[in-house]
Structure 1
Amino acid sequence: MRNIYCGIADMRKQVFAEVARLAYEGGDYHRVDKLPHKILPDEPGNERDSIFLERAIVAERIRLAMGHSLRSASHQEPLSDAADKTAIRERYYEPPLINIIKYACHACPDTHYEVSNACQSCLARHCSNACPKGAISFLHGRAEIDQNKCIKCGKCKAACSYQAIIRFERPCQEACGMDAIGKDQYGRAEINYDKCVSCGMCLVNCPFGAIVDKSQLFQLIHAIRGGDKVVAVIAPAFWGQFGENVTPGQIVEAMKILGFQSVKEVAIGADLCAIEEAEEFMACVPAKQPYMATSCCPAWSVMAKKEFPGAAPYISMTMTPMVLTARLQKKRDPDCKVAFIGPCAAKKLEACRRSVRSDVDFVLTFEELRGMMEAKDIDFTQISDVPANYEASAPGVGFAASGGVAKAVEDVIHRLEPDREVKTVYAEGLRECRKMLRIARTGKYDGYLLEGMACPGGCIAGAGTIQPPEKSRRVLEQYKASAPKGNPLDSDYKEDLYLLHGGEDDWSFVGRH
């Protein structure tokens, strides 16, 4: 289950905190070699039989958190060998973003059905009668499945009166909506990067913590220490991530302690996104195209372009809220650097696109930001609250949850054209998104606005979140209730849209996907 406290989550927290502390302190980075021992000081190992294996895994986590590429087990150089190369103020992510530490992988068995101890040796033998291949036999009255005959249809599981037959599936494969995870010659997980869209769902669902993403944490702190003006633009899913009683005002104060010059809501970019997507939808559907799909989730849009090239022209050309907010900051202060703080792993690669990299300098997840807070010993009980300046509309804030983007766009259209019927459909999770596009291909969704979210639940369930999605959704509703504006068109930033498109007389879509 996602976001339940466990040793893996604690390990990620410690690694991010130690890497952040290392960057804040500066100096001789040879001490990075001691971090695995600092994090795991005692024998025996906490989670595995060998303390040496645990430390080797932690060392790779540290490398990735510093922005390095993954090493194989055959490489022997110390962590500090390349530390100076990443102790810089700017570094783009080098693919692959999502990596598997092979010697941390459990090499889980392939997908299969098996009989559990709940089997009651019943006389009806529904499981055997339901099996089309005769794969079920009985030993001492108990059912057994011949895996060589089994075709994994699941009919035996459905027929069992005691639910004694279970479907076993590798968690990373089950979580991957792109079917991008296979196995190597040793049975360990392997990612097909031609299919992978870096959503990170495998990362957060591996119960052995073998899948890890890269970070810009080290470089961001060096930019702050180097005197750069770093503006944090924080995604609306932040609410509640750092504790139920932590207020937005306290988070702003904490981020100033971390060294950020200022903090802006990405929800203001969501308002602008909703306005532009609404205008695009009204202009193009159905006059120029059968339907329009939203563009906010990078993993969803990359999936659509990879698997459904015919649908690519129907994905909105509007920039994502991250890019709109960042570009607005850069237009107002060209000398600043922008750090997007959010729940998403795929945003890290979106920021590397040539059309985006000049707007977004760093992308960190909430987990990585928490590491910075740990390094600076942030104690929210000791930080006084300050009034929060809510600038975004409630629908803009609602972008963080599934269905929220479509609802915001619909609200804008209804304000502009009250009599226009707007049909919407949304899908969450890449498997469901793929189903939605297959249906759209048949013409069933002609005239519709389609919203896709790679993470089940939306951004509040992204790979970089800390809290359980169901809790985040509840707290997000409180955040929306605090927003003083009821429609994106009420945004104070609406008149600044021309800044993002070259001038008041040039509203062509520039620098987009």
Structure 2
Amino acid sequence: MVTNDESMNRFKHKIMEEVCRLEWEGHNDQEHIEQLVLKTIPGPKPEYRCCIYKEREIVRQRINLAMAKNPTYNPDSNNIVQVIDPACDECPISAYSVTDNCRFCMGKACLNSCAFGAISPGDTHMHIDPAKCKECGKCAAACPYSAIVHLERPCKKACPVGAITYDEYGYCKIDEDKCIQCGHCIHSCPFAAIGSKTFLVDIIKEIKAGKEVIAMCAPATEGQFGEDISMASIREGLKKLGFADMIEVGLGGDMTAAYESEEWAEAYKEGKKMTTSCCPAFINMLKKHFPEQYENNMSSTISPMCAISRYMKATHPGCVTVFIGPCIAKKSEAQDKSVKDNADYVVTYGELRALMRSKGVKFEPVADDYQESSIWGKRFAGSGGVAKAVIECMQERGLETGDIKLLAAHGGLECKKALILLKMGKLPEDFIEGMVCPGGCVGGPSKHRGIGEITKAREQLLSKADDRKVLENIKNYPMDKFSMHRDGHM
């Protein structure tokens, strides 16, 4: 899968792998970490940057993130997504630039269109002073040769909520009051200057301490590792890694759909519009940018991840729960301690592979069958999947759903547009299913393969699932032992 940071991805995953190996061996101290820095960047010539000293500093900061720490120059941050300053120094600061297409024409439409005096003649073509430019774009629109281009930095372009700005030195800065932790900026950066905190070291410590560490695999997992690697294969591999067991979060999808459908049915009777509560980036968008709609329109049902974590903690007291999926924002959901008994840790697929390599474990095909979720819960991972599962539950209860209008908004901009319409009272639909990643969770920032490969393998695996109903399925589980609501009330 080709991404902007493809070559650097291997580099940062190798660092994660080595940090995990140090923790397994009990050598995760400052002396061994510095040895790892020198081993990674031996010198004398740099490979990626201007000098080996800069490369080594970047490695040190990557090690910090791999150990769930902040970069040393941002010690008080609570954000999951972090910028590695030394790696962020090659992008142009100017948003608008004049290219060689400039003919130095006599009309000078660009100069005449600028109200801020930012444009002046240079030696060979017109020049834009970035200190005066207000980025209005009028010069680019006025140029008859299209000689002025808008060079929007990829991290800023990827952010759906305007959380990224720059300081006077051109370093990327994340406004934590706006950031929804979606992680889209991470893979958009061609210098891999943005990353997220990783909790692999903490998980290894829990396993080594003899805790009952239970993996919870997201519905998006099926198809990520090919059509031969089923949920049973993944369960077997995780047990070899030291996890006590694995459970599929698609079952949590069934639980969430069952309880959210009750809320939807009540809201529909009252003429009240509602949003889903599964995508943490969407919830963060609601909470930070649409607080009134967060209070009044969001479902109070917990996410599938939280449902399975509560189920595990209710039936396995003292266990440690680890969610595995393609989502960066799930890390912020797990950090929110106002929601009781949610997942203790969250791991992405890339991080999981680094953890497996550190222990020499591989996923392999197995003959065993394993299914805890209905097909509706399994399809929570795709855009429209949550809404369809909720409607299925309403139909299983005998409710009429033909007149219900749904909006499956996927992608940051679509979600934002839907919430603006909701805020303005102009949303024509009854319910919003919000997923900030294009295509839903399967298109998450930490997906393991290209979306085409995942979809093909995923359909092969899902075709083998049985046809159990959602409400029938959750009758097999002790739903009376834990709450399905955010406030924890039964």
Judged with a 3 Å threshold, the aligned counterparts in structure 2 of structure 1 residues 394 and 132 are, in CA distance, closer, same or farther, namely farther
In structure 2, C-alpha distance between the alignment counterparts of 1:467 and 1:434, rounded to whole Å:
27
Q: Tell me the equivalent position of 1:390.
A: 371
Q: Tell me the equivalent position of 2:172.
A: 189
**Structure 2 length-normalised TM:** 0.87
The one-letter code matched in structure 1 to 2:48 is E
The one-letter code matched in structure 1 to 2:52 is I
1:56 aligns with 2:57: yes
SS in 2 for 1:41: coil
SS in 2 for 1:482: coil
Q: Tell me the equivalent position of 2:48.
A: 47
In structure 2, C-alpha distance between the alignment counterparts of 1:95 and 1:181, rounded to whole Å:
16
SS in 1 for 2:482: helix
In structure 2, C-alpha distance between the alignment counterparts of 1:470 and 1:175, rounded to whole Å:
21
Deviation at 1:132, TM superposition (A): 5.1
1:324 aligns with 2:301: no
Q: Tell me the equivalent position of 1:78.
A: none
Conservation of the 8 A alpha-carbon contact between 2:114 and 2:138: no
Conservation of the 8 A alpha-carbon contact between 1:457 and 1:469: no
In structure 2, C-alpha distance between the alignment counterparts of 1:430 and 1:105, rounded to whole Å:
24
SS in 2 for 1:194: coil
Question: Which of 465, 468, 484 matches 2:447?
Answer: 465
Q: Tell me the equivalent position of 1:311.
A: 293
More deviation, 45-54/352-361: 352-361
Judged with a 3 Å threshold, the aligned counterparts in structure 2 of structure 1 residues 150 and 52 are, in CA distance, closer, same or farther, namely closer
Judged with a 3 Å threshold, the aligned counterparts in structure 2 of structure 1 residues 61 and 399 are, in CA distance, closer, same or farther, namely same
Deviation at 1:238, TM superposition (A): 1.7
Conservation of the 8 A alpha-carbon contact between 1:268 and 1:493: no
Can you list the C-alpha shifts for 1:194-235, whole angstroms capped at 9, x where unaligned? Answer: 111211111221111111211211010111111111110011
1:218 aligns with 2:195: no
Judged with a 3 Å threshold, the aligned counterparts in structure 2 of structure 1 residues 446 and 413 are, in CA distance, closer, same or farther, namely farther
Judged with a 3 Å threshold, the aligned counterparts in structure 2 of structure 1 residues 509 and 193 are, in CA distance, closer, same or farther, namely closer
Judged with a 3 Å threshold, the aligned counterparts in structure 2 of structure 1 residues 2 and 456 are, in CA distance, closer, same or farther, namely farther
Conservation of the 8 A alpha-carbon contact between 1:273 and 1:319: yes
SS in 2 for 1:349: helix
Deviation at 1:447, TM superposition (A): 5.4
Conservation of the 8 A alpha-carbon contact between 1:393 and 1:490: no
Judged with a 3 Å threshold, the aligned counterparts in structure 2 of structure 1 residues 163 and 485 are, in CA distance, closer, same or farther, namely farther
The one-letter code matched in structure 2 to 1:12 is K
More deviation, 467-476/191-200: 467-476
SS in 1 for 2:478: helix
More deviation, 2-11/334-343: 2-11
Q: Tell me the equivalent position of 1:293.
A: 275
Conservation of the 8 A alpha-carbon contact between 2:226 and 2:457: no
Deviation at 1:493, TM superposition (A): 4.8
5 Å-filtered alignment, 1:153-168, equals: 166-168=149-151
Conservation of the 8 A alpha-carbon contact between 1:400 and 1:460: yes
5 Å-filtered alignment, 1:433-448, equals: 433-445=415-427, 448=430
Judged with a 3 Å threshold, the aligned counterparts in structure 2 of structure 1 residues 147 and 400 are, in CA distance, closer, same or farther, namely farther
Can you list the C-alpha shifts for 1:345-399, whole angstroms capped at 9, x where unaligned? Answer: 221121122344534222111111111111012244xx45232312212221222
In structure 2, C-alpha distance between the alignment counterparts of 1:393 and 1:171, rounded to whole Å:
39
Which structure 1 residue ranges, 5 or more long, are not aligned?
76-92, 502-506
Judged with a 3 Å threshold, the aligned counterparts in structure 2 of structure 1 residues 356 and 441 are, in CA distance, closer, same or farther, namely closer
SS in 2 for 1:491: helix
SS in 2 for 1:285: helix
How many residue pairs get matched? Answer: 483
Which structure 2 residue ranges, 5 or more long, are not aligned?
none
Question: Which of 156, 159, 170 matches 1:176?
Answer: 159
Can you list the C-alpha shifts for 1:133-165, whole angstroms capped at 9, x where unaligned? Answer: 49999999x985746787656577679899765
Judged with a 3 Å threshold, the aligned counterparts in structure 2 of structure 1 residues 164 and 412 are, in CA distance, closer, same or farther, namely farther
In structure 2, C-alpha distance between the alignment counterparts of 1:143 and 1:129, rounded to whole Å:
11
Conservation of the 8 A alpha-carbon contact between 1:130 and 1:159: no
Conservation of the 8 A alpha-carbon contact between 1:343 and 1:464: yes
Judged with a 3 Å threshold, the aligned counterparts in structure 2 of structure 1 residues 357 and 441 are, in CA distance, closer, same or farther, namely closer
Can you list the C-alpha shifts for 1:37-69, whole angstroms capped at 9, x where unaligned? Answer: 222334322211212211110111112211222
1:16 aligns with 2:16: yes
In structure 2, C-alpha distance between the alignment counterparts of 1:423 and 1:359, rounded to whole Å:
31
Judged with a 3 Å threshold, the aligned counterparts in structure 2 of structure 1 residues 165 and 366 are, in CA distance, closer, same or farther, namely same
Q: Tell me the equivalent position of 2:436.
A: 454
Question: Which of 426, 431, 444 matches 2:413?
Answer: 431
More deviation, 149-158/459-468: 149-158
Conservation of the 8 A alpha-carbon contact between 2:113 and 2:142: no
Judged with a 3 Å threshold, the aligned counterparts in structure 2 of structure 1 residues 509 and 192 are, in CA distance, closer, same or farther, namely closer
Q: CA RMSD in A?
A: 3.3
Conservation of the 8 A alpha-carbon contact between 1:270 and 1:396: yes
SS in 2 for 1:472: helix
Q: Tell me the equivalent position of 2:390.
A: 409
**Structure 1 length-normalised TM:** 0.84
Question: Which of 177, 187, 191 matches 1:204?
Answer: 187
1:511 aligns with 2:488: yes
The one-letter code matched in structure 2 to 1:264 is I
1:260 aligns with 2:243: yes
Judged with a 3 Å threshold, the aligned counterparts in structure 2 of structure 1 residues 377 and 33 are, in CA distance, closer, same or farther, namely same
The one-letter code matched in structure 1 to 2:354 is G
SS in 1 for 2:463: helix
Conservation of the 8 A alpha-carbon contact between 2:217 and 2:325: yes
Judged with a 3 Å threshold, the aligned counterparts in structure 2 of structure 1 residues 498 and 192 are, in CA distance, closer, same or farther, namely same
Conservation of the 8 A alpha-carbon contact between 2:237 and 2:361: yes
